[in-house]
Amino acid sequence: MRRHHDMGGLDAGPVDPAEHDYTPWEKRVDAIVRLLAGKERRLITLDEHRRAMEDLGPGAYDELSYYERWISAITNILIEKGVISVEELGGKMEAVKARWQEARE
């Protein structure tokens, strides 16, 4: 009955006060969401984004970091809406990886 993200009132340990500086990649995810949801494009809504994160399921909370959940959710919505295809994304991910590896050699 209670979904995994709906956690108000559940038991948990102490709040870890440690903070990290946001990495360029994390900011990039935030930027992608802002650009997609902003009024110039309105390709996604805040509500769709939240719902997509909720639909990632309990495993996502345990296994994925905050921004991993964000980019997974966004990617799912973009595929759902036909903005990008699975094939395109797969091909692009391979290309990105290859480029990095080349640069490191």
Partner 1 sequence: MSARFIVGDRVRVRQAYPPGHVRTPYYVRGKEGVVSRMIAEHPNPEERAYGRDGLPPVPVYRVLFRQNDLWQDYQGPEGDTTELDIQEHWLGPLEEDGG
Partner 2 sequence: MSETHSHDDDWPYPHPQQPDIEDGPLTELMIMIDAVAELLIDKEVFSADDMRRTLEAIDSKSPAEGARMVAHAWLDPDFKARMLEDVNAAAEEMSIDAGTIPILAVENTKDIHNVIVCTLCSCYPKYLLGLPPDWYKSRAYRSRLVREPRAVLKEFGTEIPDDVEVRVHDSTAELRYMILPMRPKGTEDMDEEALAGLVTRDCMIGVTVIDRD
Q: Applying CB under 8 A, which residues contact partner 2? A: 5-20, 22, 24-25, 27-32, 34-36, 39, 41, 43, 46, 50, 53, 61, 65-68, 71-72, 74-75, 78, 83-84, 88-89, 92-93, 95-101, 103-104
CA distance 7 to 2: 8
Nearer CB in complex with partner 1: 6/94: 6
Closest CA to 48 of 92, 22, 79, 90: 79
Query: In the complex with partner 1, which residue's Cβ is closer, 26 or 61?
Result: 61
Task: Tell me which amino acid residue 7 is.
Answer: M
Q: How far apart are CA 105 and CA 100, in angstroms?
A: 9
- State how far Cα 13 lies from the chain centre: 25
Residue 103 as a binder of partner 1 (CB under 8 A): the answer is: no
Residue 70 and residue 53 in contact, taking contact as beta carbons nearer than 8 Å: yes
Among 32, 54, 68, 75, binds partner 1 (CB under 8 A): 54
The binding site for partner 1 (CB under 8 A) comprises 1-3, 6, 8-9, 45-48, 50-51, 54, 81
